Amino acid sequence: MLRLNKVSSGYDPTKQILKEIDFEISNGEIIAIMGLNGSGKSTLLRTCLGLLSPLHGEVLLNNKKLLSYTPHQRAQKISLLDSQTTIAFSMTVRELLELSISLHGKKELFALALEAVGLKGFEEKNLLELSSGETRRALIAHTLCTNAEIIMIDEPFAHLDWRHQEQLAQSLKSWNKKFNTTFVLAIHELEWIIQIAHTVCALGKGKILASGSPEYVFQSQLVCELFAFQARIDENPIDGSRRLTLGRPLK
Amino acid sequence: MTDSTGKTTNTINVKLLVLFFLAISAFLFSLHRGHVEISFNEIMAWLTKQNMSDESAFLISTLRFPRTLAAFIIGATLGVCGLVFQTLLRNPLAEPYTLGLSGGSCLGAVAALTFSLEPPEFWIPTLSTVGCLSATLLVLGLGRKKLSFESRSLILFGVMISLFFSAAVVAGLSILSPQKLQTALFWLLGEFGTSRDIWIKSIGPVLVAGMLIILFKSRGLDALSLGEARALSLGFSPRKERVVLILICTLLTALSVCISGLVGFVGLVSPHLARKFLKTSRHHTLVIGSAFTGAILLTLADSIARSALMTTEIPAGSISALIGAPVMIFLLLGYKNASVE
């Protein structure tokens, strides 16, 4: 379990991006972080990994200070794929996945992770020659291969076409069930939050506006005001899944 | 770390073996080539300590061997340092020369020369290291203030620092005596065949030890090649790994520069050639590959430098740039857009 106690964080001590946040990540959950651009989603994930040290407050992993773990121990517990991760030099998909496996993962995760992101048959492809969506999916597979207890992905659906968004959403759900992996996902695509998240945390101006079930958060007045929408969650008549309908706010 | 299939591992091992033989061939060729050519039979006789003419034995032991060894080890060092900086900064144009490290180092060395500090074998390496470290701190410190560590614009800071140090060196040159001026000028262009070649006996083991430490840290380089968040998620502290690797490369660059002067392009081109030839992203292979390609390039450049003209020598640094620049352009043209953005 990862817990943030009154954490303030940011890149510059004089500019706090997160302000006194209390946040808890329970084992086996899929948690979606939503918020407008610049609301502090990426900062929250980087603070949870320990890449950013809190300016105030403390981050606890299993009731022990996060920074008291060695990087090696921490990597077995938490893994973050941030939205800015890119490939700078030639590297095959196989090499990328094997990097995780050789350090912490299990060999059998190689095929499972590739299947989860729909990249079977891409093993020997050079990542510099793939599209941005394919590269992103390869990086997600690489992150899954770390076999960390908590996997955090900043914008998992960015660059992905609708078919692969759907596939990834289903894959993350089944990965969570099969391996009891905790997922923390910073997501802009609200329909996927409804589909896969057990808990939603809405951030606004560095503070948590609402946290709880998707139904609770999407009905929260603060969230509706910030996003300027009114939301309704019901059953999708086509396939019976949960459906999110958004409308303009009432004046 | 093992590659997925035995076939891939075997292919890479065979390619490393090819590079090893090419490096040995370049070394022997360099011993052979010069204004006075030494036959390969005599070289073999010298290596196996058999009877040979005193003149050739003297020529090899006192001139050709230290010079070739210096070019070989310094070439390998610059190749490895280039690889480390390219990976740490995630920038294909990074190397000690373009980051201004060699410039800082050169300024320190020329300062020792200008003020005739004695003994030179102490002051030149010391001031060279101080200059190199100052350049490292300036580039990274200034860059860190405004840019992320991995920003491609960081190289611009390096180029500016390099230009600044070059200007300071030129200012220093203007007060030198004609004899010292020529030494300093050749230093700026990179040269072997000076009285400093013999320093490789004491500096060489440090350079080799530094390269071995980098080889030992190759897994961290693999992780850092994906950026900070992934490196930490794979169990490596990005800050700690960077500080250690940068300090090692700073020291290696400074010690290399105090023997050879400014040698450009070897650190830039060697890692690219190694990546292209070995077709792997694994740094334990790339460190060895970059060392061999760097050693081959600089040893050959020095062989050409000393034998191209009958009457005089050309600085090895200018030959390495004459070879390196077209090779680099050729490599860049062959890259996909993503790698050179």
Q: Note the pLDDT tens digit of each residue in B190-200.
A: 888 777 888 88
The domains found in chain A, sorted by start residue, are: 2-247 (3.40.50.300)
Of the partner residues A102, A129, A146, the one whose CB lies closest to the CB of residue B233: A146
How much is the mean pLDDT over chain A?
91
Q: Is the model more confident about B208 or about B326?
A: B208
Query: Is B2 an interface residue toward A (CB < 8 Å)?
Result: yes
Q: For residue A152, give the DSSP letter.
A: E
Q: Mind listing the pLDDT tens digit for each residue in A85-102?
A: 888 899 999 999 999 998
Which chain B residue is nearest to residue A149, measuring alpha carbons?
B233
| DSSP state for residue A240 in the 8-state scheme | S
* Confidence band of B338 (pLDDT split at 50, 70, 90): very low
> What tens digit of pLDDT does each residue of B214-271 get?
999 999 999 999 988 999 999 999 889 988 998 899 899 989 988 888 888 899 999 9
pLDDT of residue B147: 54
Q: How far apart are CA A161 and CA B126, in angstroms?
A: 58
Upstream peptide bond of B119 is cis (omega within 30 degrees of 0)? yes
Q: What percent of chain B stands above pLDDT 70? A: 92
Q: Would you say residue B2 has pLDDT above 50?
A: no
Asked whether the beta carbons of residue A82 and residue B227 sit closer than 8 angstroms, the reply is yes
* DSSP for residue B5: S
Cβ proximity of A10 and A43 under 8 Å: yes
Q: Average pLDDT of B47-55? A: 80
Q: Is the ipTM of this complex over 0.90?
A: yes
Nearest-angstrom CA–CA distance, A69 and A83: 25
For residue A204, what is the enclosing H or E element? strand A199-204
> Rounded mean pLDDT of A68-93?
92
pLDDT of residue B151: 60
Smallest CA-to-CA distance from B329 within B338, B319, B340, B318 is with B340
* pLDDT at B24 > cutoff 60: yes
C-alpha distances (whole Å) from A202 to each of A166, A187, A193, A205, B12 are: 22, 10, 11, 10, 50
CB contact under 8 A, A49 and B229: yes
Cα distance from A100 to chain B (closest Cα, Å)?
Answer: 7
Each residue of B143-154: pLDDT tens digit? 666 555 556 667
Q: Does A77 touch chain B (CB under 8 A)?
A: no
| A129 inside 8 A of chain B by CB | yes
Does the pLDDT at position A131 exceed 70?
Answer: yes
Of A53, A93, A99, which to mutate for an interface test with B (greatest number of B Cβ within 10 Å)? Answer: A99
Burial A97-126 (b: 16+ CB within 10 A, else e): bbbbbbbbbeeebbebbbebbbbeebbebb
The per-residue pLDDT for B145 is 64
Neighbour-count burial of B53, counting CB atoms closer than 10 A to its CB (0-12 exposed, 13-18 middle, 19+ buried)? exposed
- In this prediction, residue B152 carries a pLDDT of 64
List phi, psi (to 5°) of A201: -125, 115
In angstroms, how far is the first alpha carbon of chain B from the final one? 30
Average pLDDT over residues A115-126: 94
Measured between alpha carbons, how far is A119 from B89 in angstroms, rounded to an integer? 29
Query: Are residues B227 and A84, on separate chains, in Cβ contact within 8 Å?
Result: yes
- Establish if B6 touches chain A: CB-CB under 8 angstroms: no
Search chain B and give the residue with CA nearest A91. Answer: B281
Place of tokens 């729909």: A118
Verify whether the Cβ–Cβ distance B281 to A98 is below 8 Å. Answer: no
Q: Which residues of B touch A99 (CB under 8 A)?
A: 1, 222-223, 226, 234
Q: With an 8 Å Cβ cutoff, are A98 and B228 in contact?
A: no
CATH number given to B76-336: 1.10.3470.10
A49 — contact with chain B (CB < 8 Å)? yes
Predicted pLDDT of residue B336: 58
Sign, Cα dihedral of A193, A198, A204, A209: positive
- List the structure tokens of A20: 């006194």
Contact state of B232 with A50 under an 8 Å Cβ cutoff:
yes
pLDDT at A64 over 60: yes
Q: Is A146 on the interface with B (CB under 8 A)?
A: yes
Token match 């200008």: residue?
B114
A71 in B contact zone (CB under 8 Å): yes
pLDDT digits (tens, 9 = 90+) for B80-94: 999 999 999 888 888
Chain B residue closest in CA terms to A89: B339
- The alpha-carbon gap from A199 to the nearest alpha carbon of chain B, in Å, equals 24
- What pLDDT, on a 0 to 100 scale, did the predictor assign at position B284? 94
State residue B1's pLDDT score.
Answer: 44
Min mean pLDDT across A1-15, B38-52, B219-233, B264-278 is at B38-52
Q: Are strands A30-35 and A182-186 parallel, antiparallel or unpaired?
A: parallel
Range with lowest mean pLDDT among A116-120, B57-61, B147-151: B147-151
Q: Which chain B positions have a beta carbon within 8 Å of A88's beta carbon? A: 90-92, 225, 339
Beta bridge partners of A24: A3
User: Between chains, do B230 and A91 touch, taking CB under 8 Å as contact?
Assistant: no
Instruction: For residue A21, give the 3-state DSSP assignment.
Output: strand
* Residue A137 contacts residue A96 (beta carbons within 8 Å): no
Tell me the C-alpha to C-alpha distance, in Å, between residue B166 and each of A26, A124, B107, B172, B259. 58, 45, 7, 10, 18
Q: Average of pLDDT values for B320-325?
A: 88
Q: Nearest C-alpha of chain A: how many angstroms from B2?
A: 8
Give me the amino acid identity at A15: K
Whole-number average pLDDT of chain B: 85
**What backbone torsions phi and psi does residue B274 show, to the nearest 5 degrees?**
-65, -45
Placement of tokens 């500016």 in the chain: B160
Domain range annotation of chain B: 76-336
Contact B38, B64 (CB under 8 A): yes
Residue B51 has pLDDT above 80, yes or no: no
pLDDT surpassing 90 at residue A197: yes
Distance CA A171, CA B159 (A): 47
Chain B touched by A85 (CB under 8 Å): yes
* pLDDT for A40 beyond 50: yes
The verdict on a CB contact (< 8 Å) between B235 and A129 is no
Q: Which residues contact A156 (CB under 8 A, 6 or more apart)?
A: A81, A140, A168, A172, A185, A187
B338 vs A99, A123, A128: nearest CB: A128
- Give me the percent of chain A exceeding a pLDDT of 90: 70
Name which residue leads in pLDDT, B261 or A208.
A208
Q: Assign A78 to helix, strand or coil.
A: strand
More confident residue, A53 or B55: A53
Tokens for A46, please give them.
Answer: 């980087």
Residues of B in contact with A89 (CB under 8 A): 86-87, 90, 92, 225, 275, 281, 339
Q: For B339, which of A89, A98, A104 is closest by C-beta distance?
A: A89
